[in-house]
Amino acid sequence: MNSSKKKRIAVVTGGASGLGLAAVRKLLERGASVAIWDCSEAALEATKSTFACDGAVLTCAVDVADPASITAAAERTRAQLGDADLLVAAAAVPGPVLPFAEWSIEDFRRVIDVNLIGVHLTCQALVPAMMRAGWGRVVLVSSVAGKEGNVLQSGYVASKSGVIGYVKCLGKELATSGVLVNGIAPTVFDTPMLRQISDAGPEMIAAMKSKVPMARLGQPDEFGEMAAWLCSDACSFTTGMTFDLSGGRSTY
């Protein structure tokens, strides 16, 4: 993304905090205009204030599990910035930390609705314009939990495993369209979502961290750098792949 090329327009879901916010920062550094979609109006307001001087940020309150909310945000983004070239889908909820038999159907459905169906709805709203333009980059956020499983997180793991499958399918489906679709599977990162899970079961987070050979939490900017590369022209022969970001935990 440099001045000699078309200014890219990005949508980042879950972009007001955590990994999504890190992606926003890196995409702005590389010259993109960014629409931040998030369900938290308070977080959006704080983020908007942070980036007010950039003049390249649009904030939209969005529930990614609600088709009408997605449609409204897509129309607003298109009207104010133009059609998106880039999508980083980071919006997610962890759900409760409970034995599978104690998960309510309401909690299970909410996690699937946000983490998996939300990805599908967002892609349906934005990717067709990329296909018409013949160029696009889509980055869907999964989790190492979607590959290995986490005890007491059946809904979350199921949703993130689904995202990995979705990346494979969409990457192959769009392989000749100019739109590349890839995923990132982070391990334990220092984010607000981690603190939500930690409040419910800190012993589980300690166990997850103990599996990381680097013996530390991932930092959001490390995610942002990978997301930005996957959104770049330099990423040109990779699609349908989910990249681990795991401090050595995943080596397969």
Domains and CATH numbers, the chain: 9-241 (3.40.50.720)
pLDDT in tens, 138-166: 999 999 999 999 889 999 999 999 999 99
Output phi, psi for 108, to 5 deg.
-60, -45
Q: Is residue 5's pLDDT more than 80?
A: no
Q: Which two tokens stand for residue 68?
A: 């009408």
Average predicted confidence (pLDDT) for the chain: 91
Sheet strands side by side (includes 9-13): 57-61, 33-38, 9-13, 86-89, 136-141, 179-186, 242-245
Candidates 49, 73, 71; CA nearest to 61 is: 73
Instruction: Judge contact between 19 and 186, C-beta under 8 A.
Output: yes
Q: Which two tokens stand for residue 14?
A: 């879950």
Q: Is residue 3's pLDDT more than 60?
A: no
| Residue 2 pLDDT level (bands cut at 50, 70, 90) | very low
pLDDT > 70 in the chain, percent: 92
pLDDT in tens, 80-93: 999 999 999 999 99
Q: Which of 103, 156, 166, 223 is catalytic?
A: 156
pLDDT in tens, 188-222: 877 776 666 655 456 767 777 788 888 777 888 99
Task: Work out the burial of residue 68: count CB atoms within 10 Å of its CB; fewer than 13 is exposed, 13-18 middle, 19 or more buried.
Answer: exposed
Catalytic residue status for 252: no
Task: Work out the burial of residue 229: count CB atoms within 10 Å of its CB; fewer than 13 is exposed, 13-18 middle, 19 or more buried.
Answer: middle
What is the torsional sign of CA 63, 77, 133, 9?
Answer: negative
